[in-house]
Structures are given as structure tokens and as C-alpha cells.
A and B are shown apart, each in its own frame.
Chain A
């Protein structure tokens, strides 16, 4: 295509010069890049378009001239560069082509511990429905761990076979110093913190200790304990809270169920199950039995209506208020997540990077 040579009009300001440069660039881009020699002459030749613009420099105000000159030199260098490339039979794009199939370089990252991830998720789920997260002592008095929770002195859990005792003298009122065996020790403490005035909606997550060690038990583990106390709280609310948690933590469609159980600090007491995500609570997979669960459900933990004696210990009148509580192991709750497949809970505290790096 033959382009008619146009005379560029003299410019008077830097602004005009800039527009003229842009115009020229666009014009160059639009050229068919077949006759390189022709382009060379028309743009960079003695009587070429660039030189025309250069001539206009004298019309630019004196103080602006150095800037204007620089701009024109850049333009010239740019066009020269492009024409050189065209002369070599290459375009700018092919020169910088990037191999998109090359594998990425990942920046090094670490990993939050699975228990931290679970605790954060659990906290978030309960905070959304108005629970306050708290933290209470791991080393506590027998009073908060057992006595105030309606556990009589001869209760097996208070035996030295199940509980770690700290080697210090007994407190006259509070009893022995123990490593708490459950986060339930926060219940009466929370009632005390709120000066025995409901409403209470607490979620207490912390470290607990029991004198046992095997594939499903470690001497140290984590629990979370929920407590709700107010007027008119009943079993339906507990069921609602459990269903809400099941759905949020294990995914849509997961259900909870409660079955009779026995704890000293709740009455009635329940065992809490969540429906199996593999067979959805049916216990069947195709024609056979679901291999992941016992019977469609997974036992997760305990719950119940707060025992009147526990409310009394916290200074709350059991004739006026009712409440529910639940407490589960974080490890157990987490390891039931779909496809996680952790079969030895001790790995969690092994500090083995080959394990931790997977999270």
C-alpha cells in the first residue's frame, strides 16, 4: 500500500509535540511491514517524518526544548530498533516468546499445624452464632476439674490411674492440683467470670491431659467445650447447635444425632454422632456395608443439659435457668474430615515434617 507523504505541521508546545509523536507511532504500527527499505526512507531518511518533527523543535519554548529533544530521540531510537529487527526477519514478539509449559517456581511456604487449622475453623463457626471464645487454665484445681462438676471424690476419673496430679501440697478448699482432663473445667470459671449472670455462650478450646497412650490416645490432646445458659434453653437448641456445626464443619448435608449417655456434669447426657459423609448415615455403600463408619454414624463426643449441681456451683439458680454443654476432642473431630485418613493420632504431635508438610 502506498502512503501519501504528509507534511507535519509545526508544533508550538510540548503537548502538541507529544500528540504528534503518538500519531506517528500509530501510523508506523499500521504500516504493512513488507518493504523495509521504503519505511526506512520515509521515517528515518533525511527528508523523513522524524526529521520533519525535529525541525519543529525550534518552535517549542526554549525551557521545554531539552525534554522535547529527549522525547524525539527516544522515538527515533525506537523506530530504528524495530526496523533493524524487521530487517533480520524477526518481530519483537517472537524474540520474547516465553515457554508456558515450563514448571513454576514455588516460593517456600510453611504450614499451619492441622490442630491450629481445626481450632481456627471451630472458633469461626461458633463465633458466627454468638459464642465467645475463652481460655482457662491447663493446670487447675480439682475443684474446677471435678468437684464443682458434680463428680464425687470416689469417681473413677479422679483416680490417679486416669488423671495427672502435680506434686504440690493440696489446697484446703480447692483440693489437689491437676492437669485438666477436659476443657469442661472452664464451665464454672465462665459462670464466675460473668458473675453468675446469663446469657452465657462460651467456646473454650485448650490443651488437656490424660494418663493414657495408644493409637487413639496421646497424653496431651485438645478439646473444645461449649456452654450455653439462659432462660428457656432446651434440648432442641442443643440439637440445632450440633446440626449447625456438623453442616459447617463437615459440609452440606451432614447431620448430627444424640443418643443417651452418662456424664456426671450433665443430665440428661448424650453421645453425639455425625452422619458419615461416605454413606450419608445409611451404613451402606452400594450393596455392601460402608467401610468407613460402623453404622452410618461417627461418634464424636459428649453433650448434655448442664447438671443442676453445676449451675449451683457457678451461682446460677437451676429453677430459673437451664443450659446445655458439649465437649469433644479437636483431634477426633478433625480426623473425621472426608478423605483425611489419619490412622494414628500420635503423628499429630510427632513433629515429623513429612507429616506436617502435608497440611
Chain B
């Protein structure tokens, strides 16, 4: 959460010579990060990011406290000024008004503190206060309203101004309870809500909601133009209850964002006193009651024991014990040194506003950051390098695929793992065989995909300016495995291309060559496998390693699970002796009918004789297919006469089996 702090407001709590730039630099290194300095209304305003565990710093006083400790370390003079507020015993009570009765549930609320202020004069917010509200991006109304926001920003505890008379008219009782489902309330800005059950609310004696505490006031008790008497109240609803109600109803007020992070209930009193002082000054308020304070759930921080050795272990160097103690006491911790020789340790009791300090590592962090991380050396580990590697790792194979395919003209893409219902329906698996998100953000990302092909086809169609486009992705698909089991995350290589089948298949064949896989077959699939309209299996050593086929869009798609490729891929070939004899290579051209499967002809020719060592389809012109045939005898050179009978057999077989016609004569 970011907070805006004007420099001059800070100086009301901090005595220092540091420039705004110095404060920015050193706070960012050792404390909250000052992301920017704005110039607003004639002053530097710090824009500070404060982590959720440090709600104690989400106010002017907290930043002053941090600044004092941090700046002191850098030798820049800095002192936290004492908190300048009125003494609660000095309040002059004039004619007491009856107090409302509070019925607390300590399980829900840690503290309730309030006072009644009488006869307030409604006055415009004074210029000095309006300026600070503008600098910190708060709205300016009038004094009676703005004082509560102002003191929250200064001291840190949210506080609410009720219209005392409205509250008493609802029965004068405050019951701090959990709401049931369906109870209605209207916030002070006129919005209507119904509870979902479980929100902590203030109710009157008749069960009517009269406040959404720590979040926002309700219209039936909030101050308006006619308000004369105010009940100024701070309560401390448990943090998780505040977050629940605030998130459920999307009411994200500053109060809610603070209270959901465990504001120290001890801050309620100084915040209240500061507000009383301002109501007296600006609204001529009179004190209408004593301060009511029910703080039964007061808890002191637990002490944390830490050995000095632990601090050295984390920092890698020794820091002087007195320096450590100084840092911690500056941070308002109580520190007790327990000397026991080598196991000397500290007992550190953090202040109540630091509930984040609970274990030794928390104490280490405080010492280390104030000492300055930038003051620690930087070095690499001299410890042993682990050598137990995961059993299956395909990273190298994946990288080789990515490099190779991109080098031969394929574009790698990354697409979302989440798909729409429409695309899930188009896959080979029923919709209920897909894992579904319980809380998708958008309609197009609802199911975990079981195929990448649709996502890649979409990219092809989204890039119509490309004449032909070949893309690939290596990503997971997610196969459910039943109750109490995580899905099988299967890494798949997918290729989709708008080029023709031969070109695309050529890329696949080249890829297999890269992994020295030579004995593969591409075998027609008899049945249709969605989303292919026609497909064939890629078979290596009688095992199917993937599918190639035609997609609905007419593109060619290839799907290969990485694990299957990994099993057959090799990193190097088996060397074949270079033949001493020369092969004879010749072309034969056949006219084929449209239905003829060329792959089968090639198999037929190869199987005729072992001297036929290679058959390749060369060019195709209309129905004429030219095959390049390689005859090779490794033992002796073949003569033209040797191959003549083979050639005749080829022609005979191909013509007989496939109804083909040789172009030319044998």
C-alpha cells in the first residue's frame, strides 16, 4: 500500500537536517521505499510504498519514527519529537451527557474507546489542514468530518464520528456482533447493501445495523449538516473480519485497508486525543463525557530470544553487541542481554505496534536493514555444488528443437494454457474431461487445455498478412487423473503450418533427422481423431510417438509429446563405413491415379530387392510422379546390366499393384 507524507508534516514529528532527497535515499535502502517525491502545494510530498506487515508505518508518526532510526545510522542528525497531544486527564468536562451502552464480543473486537463532544460549530476546514489533505489526496469537506481523516493519517488508527443524537435515538445501545445473512444497511454515502453473513457490525437494541465498524459508517448514525453533538469512537475489529467484509462488499476505504492489517489498538487513544484537541480548536467542541475505554484484550508482545551467533550466521559478519542493542532500542524494543559465553543472546520485547516481530529471523532483519544491506559485502557461495539431478529432464532437447525449428523458418509462439468453452468443445476430449476454473477472470480463459492445436490455428488465422505461416509451441496439456490427484501435465511439441503437407512433413522429417531417428514411419490413421479431419501416426521402432494431420482450417498440424521424443532421440549417429563402391541412381516417372498413396508405392519399391537402398519422391507434375531410385551393392560395383531386371520388376509391380503407367519405356 502506498501512502503520501508531506515533508513539513513529517517535520512536526521529526527533527532533522536531512534533505528530502536524503530521506528518500536512506529510507528506501533501510526501510519503506520512497518511490517518488511530488511537489504539491509548495512542499515535497513523499510517495511511500509500505509492505502489508508494517501498518505501523502507514502514518506520519510511523514514518518519522523509522526515519529517526535510519538517518541516525548515516550520521545525519535526526530525532523523533515527543508526541504532542493533550493529556487525557486535563479534559474539562462540562455537563455530562448519557453514554451509549456497549455490548462487546472480545472474540470480534479488541478495544472500544470513545468520547462525546458537545455543541460543535460547523466550520470550514482551515487552510493549513486543507492543504495537507490535498497533498495526501484526501477530500476536503468541513472540519467536523475532515478531522477524523487527518488524525488517522497522522497517528495511524481509524476513527469514526457518529452523530450522537442519531445514535441515541436508535436506542443508545451498541451491540458488536456478527451479521446474519440478508440484513440490510445503507452506508453514509447512500449505497444499499445486504449482508452475506459473518460481517462484524454494530447493531442497536432492536437488531438494526448502525455501523460497519472499521470500514464505513452507515447513514442512520453518521454526522450530517445538522449534527451538533458527536460521538468520536475507535474500535479494533479483528483484521481478517475486516478484510472479509471489505472485500465481500468491495468497500475499500482507507480505514478498511489499515484495519485489515492489524493496526495496534494502543494507537486508538493518542489518535482519539489528537482528534479531541482539533475538535476543541476548530469546532469549539465541549467535552460531553469521560473517555470510555474497554480494552480488555490488551496483549503485551511476546519476547523473542535470539543468540548473537544467529545474527552473524545470517549476515556473514560480526556486529558489535552494543551496536545491536542500540539499533533495537531505537526501534523501541526492550532488550535484555543474557551473557552465557559462546551462546550469548538477547531477549527482545518488541513494542505493541510491531506484531510482525515474532521469531529470531525477524530480529535479524531489523538489525540487518538498519545496519544497511548496502554495507554488507557481496560474494558467491563456496559451498558444495549439488549433483543429484532430476531423473527426467528434457530442457536440452526442448532447446535444440526450438533452435532448429526457428532456424529453418518456423516461428515459436506462446499461447495461453487456458481456453474458452467453445475451443474445449472442439477438442478430442469431452468437456467434462477438462479441468475447469472455479473463478475465471474472463470467458475466453476457463478450461485448462488438452491440446494446443486450436490455440496455434487461431494465431495463424490472426496473421492473415502472412502468405504461409509455420508456428510451433512447446507447452503443457493437462489431463485429469481423478479425485485427490493433480493432473498429468504433459509437455507437448505442437507444429501448425499453412504451408502444404509435403513442406510441413519435410520439416518434421528434418527434425527427426536432427535427433538421428531414421527408422520412422508415417502410417495413415483409419479413424478420425479430433481436431484432425485426416491424420497419420508417426511411428518409431513400432511405437507411436505422435500424430500428423490436416486440421479443419486446412492447416497441417503435428503433435508430439516431448517425453516420447525424448525416449527415441539420440545425441549422435551410429557411424556407417563410407562405401567403397558406387551406387547407380536413376529416375522413373509414373502417371498415378488421384487416389494412389505414394507412401505405399515407395514401400513396395523398397521391398523388391535389397539392392534398392533408397527411393525418394522427386518432383510431381500433375499426375506424373518422378521417383529417384538408388541401387547400391556395398560389395561390388553394379553394372548397368545388373540393374536392368530390377528396373523391370519395379515397373511391373508398380503398374500392376497401383494401376500406374510408366512415362517412357524401360
A interface list, Cβ under 8 A from B: 107-113, 115-116, 120, 123, 129-130, 132-135, 137-141, 154, 156, 159-161, 164-169, 171-172, 177, 179, 193-194, 198-201, 207, 209, 211-213, 219-220, 228, 230-237, 239-244, 257-262, 267-271, 294-295, 305, 307-308, 322, 348-349, 351-354, 356-357
Contacts and interface: CB of A to CB of B under 8 A. Distances in A.
Given A138-B489, A139-B478, A201-B385, A234 B314 contact: yes
Interface string B394-410: 01000100110111111
Interface string B337-381: 000000000000000000010010110110011000110111111
Given A133-B395, A171-B484, A201-B385, A270 B373 contact: yes
Contacts of A243: 378
A120 B400 CA distance: 11
Given A164-B440, A166-B436, A307-B361, A139 B489 contact: yes
A347 to B, nearest CB: 11
B24 A295 contact: yes
A110 B407 contact: yes
B383 A230 contact: yes
B416 A349 contact: yes
B483 interface: yes
A120 B399 contact: yes
A208 to B, nearest CB: 11
Contact of A260 (B365, B378, B416): B365
Contacts of A169: 483-484
Contacts of A305: 314, 361, 364
Contacts of A353: 411, 463, 465-466, 469
B190 interface: no
Contacts of B408: 109-110
A234 B315 contact: yes
B384 to A, nearest CB: 5
Interface stretch (B6-14, B50-58, B150-158, B514-522): B50-58
Nearest to B407: A109
Closest 8 CB pairs of A and B: A268-B365, A130-B385, A262-B51, A234-B316, A351-B459, A239-B378, A267-B361, A113-B412
A262 B470 CA distance: 45
A243 B487 CA distance: 38
A228 B409 CA distance: 39
B395 A240 contact: no
Contact of B316 (A219, A236, A241, A258): A236
Contacts of A130: 381, 385-386
Contacts of A262: 51-54, 356
B430 interface: no
B428 interface: no
Contacts of A138: 417, 476, 478, 489
A322 B361 CA distance: 11
B373 A211 contact: no
B299 interface: no
B416 A219 contact: yes
A357 B408 CA distance: 14
A110 B409 contact: yes
Contacts of B458: 351
A197 to B, nearest CB: 9
A357 B411 contact: yes
Nearest to A197: B388
A246 to B, nearest CB: 10
Contacts of B377: 236, 239
A109 B410 CA distance: 7
Contacts of B410: 110
B390 interface: yes
Given A166-B436, A230-B383, A259-B29, A235 B442 contact: no
In this complex, which of B364, B417, B442, B483 has the most chain A Cβ atoms within 10 angstroms of its Cβ? Answer: B417
B506 to A, nearest CB: 13
Given A262-B53, A271-B33, A177 B417 contact: no
A167 B437 contact: yes
Contacts of B29: 257, 259
Interface residues of B, number: 91
A270 B480 CA distance: 38
Contacts of A135: 390, 393, 395
B28 interface: yes
A167 B448 CA distance: 11
B435 interface: yes
Nearest to A231: B383
> Which of B51, B378, B483, B484 lies at the interface centre, i.e. has the most chain A CB atoms within 10 A of its CB?
B378
A168 B435 CA distance: 8
Contacts of B469: 353
Interface in B435-486: 435-442, 445, 448, 458-459, 462-463, 465-466, 469-471, 475-476, 478, 480, 483-484, 486
B619 to A, nearest CB: 21
A201 B380 contact: no
28 contacts: A110-B405, A110-B407, A111-B411, A120-B402, A138-B476, A160-B438, A161-B247, A164-B440, A167-B435, A168-B480, A199-B385, A201-B385, A209-B417, A211-B441, A213-B442, A219-B441, A230-B383, A236-B317, A237-B380, A260-B32, A260-B51, A260-B365, A262-B356, A267-B362, A268-B365, A349-B415, A351-B463, A353-B411
B183 interface: no
B55 to A, nearest CB: 11
A259 B411 contact: no
B365 A267 contact: yes
A260 B381 contact: no
A164 B447 CA distance: 11
B180 interface: no
Contact of A112 (B31, B317, B389, B406): B406
Contact of B486 (A156, A164, A177, A213): A177
A140 B316 CA distance: 35
Most buried by B among A115, A161, A235, A305: A235
B413 interface: yes
B96 interface: no
A39 to B, nearest CB: 40
Contacts of B405: 110
Given A164-B440, A235-B376, A356-B413, A268 B369 contact: yes
B437 A199 contact: no
B547 interface: no
A255 to B, nearest CB: 9
A294 B458 CA distance: 39
Contacts of B386: 130, 132, 194, 198-201
Given A137-B489, A351-B458, A259 B33 contact: yes
Contacts of A268: 314, 361, 364-365, 368-369
Contacts of A307: 361
A110 B404 CA distance: 9
Nearest to B411: A110
B665 to A, nearest CB: 32
Given A220-B418, A259-B33, A261-B51, A240 B439 contact: no
Given A113-B412, A268-B364, 5 more contacts: A166-B435, A167-B438, A199-B385, A232-B383, A257-B373
Interface string B71-82: 000000000000
Contacts of A172: 484
Contacts of A107: 409
Interface in B40-73: 51-54
A260 B373 CA distance: 9
Given A167-B437, A207-B417, A139 B31 contact: no
Contact of A228 (B28, B381, B483): B381
Contacts of B470: 110
Contact of B380 (A110, A235, A244): A244
A161 B252 CA distance: 14
A23 to B, nearest CB: 32
Contact of A351 (B415, B417, B439): B415
B103 interface: no
Contacts of B466: 353
